[in-house]
Structure 1
Amino acid sequence: MNLGDALAHEALTTGTRVTPSAAPPGVTRLAITLPEGGIQHFERPTSGTPMDWRATDFEDTGAGCSFDEPLTAEWGHALDTLAHTN
C-alpha cells in the first residue's frame, strides 16, 4: 500500500466527519476529521476521475504537514462517493 492509500484508508475508516473544503476553481477538495481531531485533506481536479485524487494537507493542533501523494482508484471511488454526497 502506498502512502496516499494508507492516508485514505485511515481517514475513510476512522474519520468522524467529511466536509467540502475551500479550494481554487476547478479543484474538488474534501476534509476528513480524524478521531484525535486532526484533519486530512484530499483533492482532485473537478473534472478528474477517481485515479486523480491525491492526499494533500494534514492539519492538527500546533502542527501539520503537506503531502502530494496519489491514491489508487479503489480509494478514489470512495472519495468520489463522498464528494457527491456533500
Structure 2
Amino acid sequence: MSERMTRIVELCLAVLAVGAAVWCWNRGVQTSDFAPAMDGAPAFTGTHYSGTWIGAATGLVIGAGLLVIDVVRRRVSGSRTPE
C-alpha cells in the first residue's frame, strides 16, 4: 500500500474512532429526573456515569490521536528529501 493510501486509511479510521467515542460517551452518561421527595422540596435531576462506556470513549480518543500523530509523522518524513 502506498504512503498516501496509508495516510488516508489512518485518517478515516481516526474519524470513525472519534465518532465511536462520541457514541460510547453518550451511552455512558444517563440522566434521570426525580420528583420532589416531599412537599416544598425542589425536583432534581441525577446523572449516572458508566465507567465502562466512558473508558471505552477515552480509549477510542487516544487511539484516534495516535493515528493522527502517525499521519503527521508520515507526511513530514515523506516530504523530506534524502541528503
More helix by percentage = 2
> Highest relative contact order (Cα 8 Å, sep 6+), 1 or 2?
2
Which structure has the greater CA radius of gyration?
2
Tell me which protein shows more strand as a share of its residues: 1
- Using the size of structure 2 for normalisation, the TM-score is 0.23
TM score, norm. by length of structure 1: 0.23
